[in-house]
Amino acid sequence: MTNINDIIEEFSIKKWNATDSLGQLRLVRNVLLAETDWMANSDVTMSDKWKTYRQELRDITKTYKSMNDKGFAFPTKPTDTE
């Protein structure tokens, strides 16, 4: 399982702006999306649950500007069998 704090620490030293709250949110969101990019290959059939998960990740910055915002939570990753 991915440790979000480790991701922020690892990538905050890179050129991405992870010092602001929205930057940190986008950084973690992008890593979570990248973990599932292989599912978007043309030879893989992505389930509706995975499509929804990925869309919710893309849309999260429409609702939240920080991982500290009230009610914030990343969407639940579907299990491999879903």
Which uninterrupted H or E stretch holds 54? Answer: helix 48-63
Q: Are 53 and 78 in contact (CB under 8 A)?
A: yes
Q: Are 8 and 28 in contact (CB under 8 A)?
A: yes
Say yes or no to pLDDT of 15 above 70. Answer: no
pTM check: above 0.85: no
pLDDT tens for each residue of 22-80: 888 998 999 999 988 887 787 878 889 999 999 999 999 999 999 889 999 999 999 87
